[in-house]
Every structure is written in C-alpha cells, then in structure tokens.
C-alpha cells in the first residue's frame, strides 16, 4: 500500500480561512460625524445665559418683561465665543509586492486582504480616539462621574449584606446619571453605552433582573440587556484591540474601558438629527476632506513603486474629536472645560 503522503499533497482550503475582526464599531454613535470644509476652523459657542435666562418675576409674580404703555422695554445682552478644531490625518500603508501577488495561493487575495487589514486598523484607531476621550475620568467634573466599589456598589454585587442589597444600578446609578446630564446640558440623556463586560454584569444584577423579569428573551441584546433601559437606548461596545507588544503572544482588551482599565458605563446625550446650527451634543467628530483626494471618509489610495516591484496601498482619514458641550472652565480635555453631556460610571464589574 502506498504511503498516504505520496497519494495526497496538502493544499490550502479554498472554502475556509480564519481572520479576527471586530463585530462592530460604535464611535460614530457617541461622537457623530460632522463634515467640515477645512482641516482647521472654529465654531461659535453661545453664552449659556443667552437662551436660558428669564426676565424674572416681581413681588406679585408677574413677568419682569411686562411694560406699561409708552415705556421702553429693557435691553438684553448676550455674547458668543469660539472654539477651534484641527483635523489630523490617520494613515497606514502596505507594500504589496509583485512576488506576493504572483505566488499567493487561492483563496488568498493579497490586495483585498491588505485593504481590509488597513481599514480595520484605521477604523480601530478612530474608535480608540473617541473612547480615550469619552472614558477618561479626568474629563468630567465630580458631579458627572461615579466610582463603584468592590463588593458593595458594584453591579456585580448580588448578595445581601445585613439583610439588604447595596448595588442599585436601576434605581440609583442610572437615574443619578440622567439627572446630571439634563442638569448640565438642558437635554435629557438619550443613550447608555456599556462595554461588554459591564453589559453582561448588569444583565445579571438582582435589581435589573427584577425590573425585566417579564420581558421575553427575544427582546434582549446579545449580553442579555433590554434594548432600552430607563428610557436610554443601549449601546453595547464590544470592540477589542490587541494590548500585547507587537510580536508577542496576543492578548486583547476592551476599547471602551475607562482610563484605569475598569469596565464602565457612559450615560450621554446624542442629537437625533444631523449636527446643525444652535445645537448641543456630548461630542462630535469633525471630518475634513482629504488633501489630495478631496473627499471624506475612510479612503484607499494606491500607487506603483517600480524600484521595489510593488504596489503601495494606503488607507487614511482626516478627523478631529471634540467635546462640544463643556462647562467653560480650563479643566478636562484640551483645557476646554469638563464635558457636560455625559456621565461616566466606573467599576461596574468590581
């Protein structure tokens, strides 16, 4: 009987390959994209007083704006300021050599594979840029953030201590966050973002389970959460990235953890319509046209480099990420003030 190695030569399967990519990205749901014409410009900020101050009332409870016939109405004043943005270009490239293209076995598609890999990297960089701002505790005033504690207020705590529970995400933590957002932004919070670990932990919390015990499983997300919690649309942030040094055994972590590496939840306001004049938002992504291709988005550029017998593939985008609703102080991101459109809850799984 012939040796089996001589009757079959191993070749690559053409109907199966394995590649790790993220299921989805959520940065645009946290910092919506606003197209701009130039890499750098400024946008106007109206004084918060401008459209919120009433005329007050007199001792009889009558509006201060009342006037008698023949008298002059009282003049009002308000001012505006500006904030800058500057869009940086994110770009990575790959040298696709002629030999790689010529020798690649099916089902490999070197050009397509390189483009996908580059696009994933730039998209992940965009996700990290937004998450690093939105999930940084130093970007929020004390009234707009909370730190949960191990074994007590953490959402992982489901045991009673001295006959009572100590973890109250539904009746305490999330309502407190909603009150903070509307109090500082004059808009009701619209979304709650949780990284996957925080979402799964909340789905098993005693108070949450009691709240949704009559909801059918068909109405739940992949982590077991209802799509709307306390009037907030749920955003599950499952995005992961490699945390190990390049060349070492790969370890991964969630992008949407806070800046101390703890699983966290973010309650925030996002406008229902496209960014426009006299609007407010938690944050925005400013997207400028590409300098040479003169279009926006994630762009692919290809060119030939004969001296190395290769085609160069590049993916790039031109963006800046900003909190656009802040308290006007010199704290927080870019010294432009604490973010007022969000509330960060850290330590959800401790």
8 occurs within a structural domain? no
More confidently predicted of 279 and 142: 142
**Could you tell me if residue 10 is inside a domain?**
no
Query: Lowest-pLDDT range, 62-66, 110-114, 178-182, 213-217?
Result: 213-217
Residue 189 included in any domain: yes
Question: Which of 4-8, 77-81, 165-169 has the highest average model confidence (pLDDT)?
Answer: 165-169
In a domain, 53, yes or no: no
Asked whether residue 96 is assigned to any structural domain, the reply reads: yes
CATH number reported for the structural domain that contains residue 292 in this entry: 3.90.1690.10
The pLDDT confidence band at residue 216, using thresholds 50, 70 and 90, is low
Q: Does residue 151 sit within a domain?
A: yes
Q: How many CB atoms lie within 10 A of CB 43?
A: 16
pLDDT score of 341: 96
pLDDT at 137 over 70: yes
- Whole-angstrom Cα distance, residue 28 to residue 237? 12
Q: pLDDT per residue over 167-176, tens digit each?
A: 999 999 999 9
Contact 114, 96 (CB under 8 A): yes
Task: Quote the number of domains for the chain.
Answer: 1
- pLDDT on residue 297: 94
> For 235-258, how does the pLDDT look when each residue is reduced to its tens digit (9 = 90+)?
999 999 999 988 899 999 999 999
Residue 298, pLDDT above cutoff 80: yes
Percent of the chain exceeding pLDDT 70 equals 97
Mean residue pLDDT across the chain: 92
CA 252, 257, 258 angle in degrees (round to 5)? Answer: 135
Instruction: Return the higher-pLDDT residue of 17 and 225.
Output: 225
Kindly report, residue by residue over 37-65, the tens digit of the pLDDT. 999 999 998 888 888 888 899 888 999 89
Contacts (Cβ under 8 Å, ≥6 apart) of 194: 202, 223, 225, 234, 235, 236, 237, 256, 264, 265, 266, 348
Q: Rounded CA gap, 136 and 257, in Å? A: 9
Domain of 29, in residue numbers: 23-48+82-346
Output the six-digit token pair for 237: 């942030």
Tell me what the mean pLDDT of segment 291-319 comes to.
Answer: 95
């Amino acid at each position: 009987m012939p040796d089996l190695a001589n009757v079959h030569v191993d070749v690559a399967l053409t109907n199966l390959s394995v590649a790790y990519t993220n299921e989805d990205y959520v940065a645009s749901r946290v910092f919506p994209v606003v197209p701009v014409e130039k890499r750098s410009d400024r946008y106007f900020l109206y004084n918060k007083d401008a459209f919120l101050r009433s005329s007050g009332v007199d001792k009889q409870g009558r509006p201060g704006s009342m006037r008698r016939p023949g008298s002059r109405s009282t003049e009002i004043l308000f001012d505006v300021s500006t904030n800058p943005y500057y869009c940086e270009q994110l770009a990575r490239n790959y040298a696709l050599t002629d030999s790689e293209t010529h020798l690649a076995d099916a089902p490999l598609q070197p050009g397509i594979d390189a483009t996908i890999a580059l696009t994933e990297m730039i998209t992940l960089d965009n996700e990290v840029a937004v998450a690093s701002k939105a999930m940084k505790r130093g970007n929020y005033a004390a009234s707009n953030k909370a730190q949960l504690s191990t074994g007590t207020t953490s959402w992982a705590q489901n045991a009673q201590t001295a006959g009572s529970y100590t973890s109250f995400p539904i009746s305490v933590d999330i309502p407190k966050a909603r009150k903070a957002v509307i109090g500082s932004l004059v808009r009701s919070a619209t979304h709650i973002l949780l990284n996957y670990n925080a979402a799964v932990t909340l789905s098993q919390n005693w108070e949450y389970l009691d709240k949704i015990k009559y909801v059918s499983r068909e109405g739940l997300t992949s982590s077991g959460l209802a799509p709307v919690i306390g009037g907030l649309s749920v955003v599950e942030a499952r995005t992961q990235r490699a945390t190990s040094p390049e060349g070492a055994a790969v370890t991964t972590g969630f992008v949407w953890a806070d800046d101390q590496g703890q699983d966290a939840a973010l309650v925030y306001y996002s406008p229902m319509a496209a960014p426009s004049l006299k609007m407010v938002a938690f944050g925005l992504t400013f997207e400028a046209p590409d300098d040479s291709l003169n279009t926006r988005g994630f762009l692919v550029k290809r060119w030939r480099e004969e001296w190395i017998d290769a085609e160069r593939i590049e993916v790039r985008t031109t963006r800046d990420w900003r909190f656009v609703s802040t308290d006007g102080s010199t704290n927080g991101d870019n010294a432009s003030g604490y973010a007022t459109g969000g509330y960060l809850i850290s330590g959800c799984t401790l």
